[in-house]
Structure 1
Amino acid sequence: MTSKNTFAALIAAGLMASTGLVAAPALADHHMEKKASANIVETAMGTGMHNTLVAAVKAAGLVDTLSGPGPFTVFAPTDAAFGKLPAGTVDTLVKPENKGTLTTILTYHAVPGKVTSADLVKMINDNGGKATITTVQGGTLTAMLEGGKVVITDAKGGKTTVAKADVMTTNGVIHVTDGVFMPG
């Protein structure tokens, strides 16, 4: 099975196994109804701060999937976030022989369905201040509110802040993060 097919299968499995964590956008959120004109990949390409993410998505062969109908929620690390990784990490990950590892890391940043910041905050509040989110990769992320911001903790205990939420695309939503999630 190719990485693209694996990603698509994981998305399908995630959607079928959904436990209600992906809430429908509130009808009162009219500002969320603004029509997006670009998909997730096109949007990331146009920001000027997601060049490393776009290069990684291309190296993993996930462009077609993330340009597909979705919907997806992507926690998108900035170039500065990738820059916080140990020297040489990104260069090593984008090598063809590490495509599987790269795909695992990238799919750990994606959630099936469209989860807006309002949905995420509601999940956090409804679950006693902490929400567990299952990623397309199959791992989990924990979301909490700290100082009025959504902070995501990955499987290795790394904390990442959502720096910009609700970047709407034609096939989902992007939340810009200041760190890279690492699966367990």
Structure 2
Amino acid sequence: MATIVETAVSAGSFTTLVAAVGAAGLVDTLNGEGPFTVFAPTDEAFAALPEGTVEGLLADIPTLTSILTFHVVPGAVHAADLTDGLKAATVNGAELTFDLTDGVKVNGATVVTADIVCDNGVIHVIDAVLLP
């Protein structure tokens, strides 16, 4: 297996996320022991943000770090662990809320691929960027 970052790099659909994690200095953390659960927006999710948003975030590391850590939950949380209405504290201190009424949604973003198991945690692919 591979770490969360190595898995995201090899997938090829998270280039913006990987670049943002690098810019925020979070690569070593997400390559660390963990475990972590990452709700990973695809490149398409970042592309759907208003024009200039990603560039602005890359120039504002504190805000970028806050947004990225809002996508990370300490521990390994698998799809089978989720219940409707469950709240999970993120690394940035805010909470994510899960809605299981029509598929799996986290703060309104749809989980499109669940349970990508890595050496140091789990990745769930989502279709939108989560904003704290």
**Greater helix fraction, Structure 1 or Structure 2:** 1
- 2:16 maps to 1:52: yes
Deviation at 1:133, TM superposition (A): 1.1
Structure 1: stretches of 5+ with no match in the other structure? 1-36, 154-158
- 2:68 is aligned, of 106, 109, 126, to 106
Identify the match of residue 120 of structure 2 among 155, 168, 171: 171
Q: Which runs of 4+ in 1 moved over 4 A?
A: none
Q: Which of residues 3, 13, 36 is equivalent to 1:72?
A: 36
What is the distance in 2 between the residues matched to 1:77 and 1:146? Answer: 21
1:135 is matched with which residue: 78, 90, 111? 90
What are the superposed Cα offsets for residues 57-81 of structure 1, whole Å, 9 maximum, x if unpaired? 0000000000000000000000000
Equivalences, count: 132
Considering only aligned residues, what root-mean-square deviation do their CA atoms show, in Å?
Answer: 0.7
Residue matched to 1:150: 104
- Residue 25 of structure 1 is matched in structure 2 by none
Unmatched segments (≥5 aa) in structure 2: none
Q: Which has the larger radius of gyration?
A: 1
Q: How far apart are residue 92 of structure 1 and its match? A: 1.1
Instruction: Give the partner amino acid of 2:37.
Output: T
Q: Distance in 2 between matches of 1:113 and 1:152?
A: 17
Show the counterpart of 1:161: 110
